Structure 1
Amino acid sequence: MSEPSEVTRPVTVAVMGTHSTGKTTFLSRLADELLRRRVEVVTVADLGSDALEAGLPILYDHTWASTLWIITRGISNELEAWRQADVVLIDRGVPDALGYYEAALEYRNREPDPHRLKHLEELVVTHSQHYDFVLRTKLNPEVPLGQGKPRDTDLAFRALADTRIGQVMERLGIGHDTLPFDEHDRALVDALAFIECRLAEPDAEFSWEDDPPKNADASAS
């Protein structure tokens, strides 16, 4: 009996950020452009509405359990999408859920259980290594809340989630570029160029670190 073949990971683009900062709009534009170029693409949607339908708390009511559910369900959805396309676009990668959890705890003046927090961090760091091109939106307070999804109307929490997501990504060393609300055109060009390079050279090494290891010269000698 032959061994089952491993799944070849597609090019993955993940966008994180607080609500109503243009994540879905940007990814929709990127998907349209990729399809126009005849690239097979799948978008993995955010899970806020699904969590709410499952009876789980979201936004400033987030708990460890609801955060774990979103992270693990998100990972599962992303892995399923790997078989379906050459490029997978992720609307809220897993660091996003951890940022919202920490924002919710701060909002409620609560401290996280350190063991549970470490578990979530390990999941986020491990899986985020599968993201090739990572963006984090930057909140523009003048942009109003979008419609059509469960929305928090507390603008203070919206800003707190923006801050906490950024802190999570910095603390965990998740390399990324920022995506201001008025720079989508620039980011679209950058993302398309990156995707084309990765599709042309699928075996190229990817690292979050721009600088070579300190012992690179020693290992080469």
Structure 2
Amino acid sequence: MVSVAGVEKPVVIGVVGTHSTGKSTFLARLAHELRRGQVQVATVADLGEQAQRMGLPILDNHTWASTLWFVTRGISEELEAWSHADVVLVDRAVPDALGYYRAALAYRDEPLDPQACALLEMLVRRHSVHYDLLFHTTLEPGIPLGQDKTRSSDQRFRHLAGQHIDRVLHEFGLAHENLPADGHDHALRTAVQFATAHLSDPTTVVES
């Protein structure tokens, strides 16, 4: 366990980024490597399919209400995972949802209402202090969309999502590691070293 803002919690590693950039693949490999080292791992999955089954608008159809669901459900599922893991891996940490909402508005050429977004931004900003390590995947346009999940095939929206997620990370001052498609091996070493070091000594600073 580590302590952030006086809260005892496991090491939390999140990944954000536009669709089909390797988030789930990377986290599956990371979970495997950590478990090989006898680390107890819990994974918080991408909520997109769950939202779709419930009939919530996703991707370029995101609304304020669907984004609030993604943020609050994501926070809830992460907190549930805290109680039974040494390390929690989050596929789409909560800044991702805010980035997708802003991208959807830009895609539809709709104005962003700062007052309506204030709650979303407050929730994302305050919860994000609990991420110990964040990775932001890099969009490689030449890599085709995966077929295992519902994704927007619109390349303009795909780029907008990546751009707005990046803006959220920088606007909120969230430290993160870039995760290019050809950089998974390095990122795996960084994440495993980070997690194991912090489990043994939460004050450890790990150089990437």
TM category, shorter: over 0.9
In the alignment, the residues of structure 1 paired with residue 34 and residue 147 of structure 2 have an alpha-carbon distance, to the nearest angstrom, of: 26
Q: Is the 8 A contact 2:197 2:204 kept in 1?
A: no
In structure 1, distance between residues paired with 2:195 and 2:142: 32
SS of 1:129's partner is: helix
Size of the aligned set, in residue pairs, is: 200
For 2:169 and 2:129, locate their aligned partners in 1 and report how far apart those are by CA, in whole Å: 12
For 1:128, give the aligned amino acid: S
The equivalent residue for 1:180 is 180
Shift of 1:205: 7.9
Residue matched to 1:64: 64
Q: 1:8 corresponds to which residue?
A: 8
Q: Distance in 1 between matches of 2:19 and 2:161?
A: 8
Structure 1 residues without counterparts, runs of 5 or longer: 1-5, 207-221
Q: Which of 1 and 2 has greater Rg?
A: 1
Identity rate, percent? 56
Alignment of 1:1-221 (within 5 A): 8-202=8-202, 204=203
CA distance in 2, matches of 1:83, 1:201: 19
| CA–CA separation in structure 2 for the residues paired with 1:81 and 1:143 | 32
TM-score (norm 2): 0.93
Instruction: Determine if contact 1:11/1:132 at 8 Å carries over to the other structure.
Output: yes
User: Which stretches in structure 2 are left out of the alignment for 5+ residues?
Assistant: 1-5
- Alpha-carbon separation, structure 2, partners of 1:21 and 1:48: 15
CA contact under 8 A between 1:7 and 1:82: conserved in structure 2?
no
Deviations 1:132-168 (A, max 9, x none): 0111001000000011111111111111101110011
- Give the structure 2 partner of residue 211 of structure 1: none
Letter in 2 for 1:94: V
Q: Counterparts of 2:164 and 2:124 in 1: how far apart (Å)?
A: 14
Superposed CA deviations along residues 71-106 of structure 1, whole A, max 9, x for unmatched, are 000000000000111000000000000000000000
AA matched with 1:89:
L
What's the Cα RMSD here?
A: 1.4
The match for 2:3 is none
Shift of 1:8: 3.2
8 Å CA contact 1:23, 1:137 repeated in 2: yes
**1:53 is aligned with what amino acid?**
R
| Structure 1: 4+ residue segments shifted above 2 A | none
Mapped to 1, the partners of 2:111 and 2:171 lie a distance apart of 17
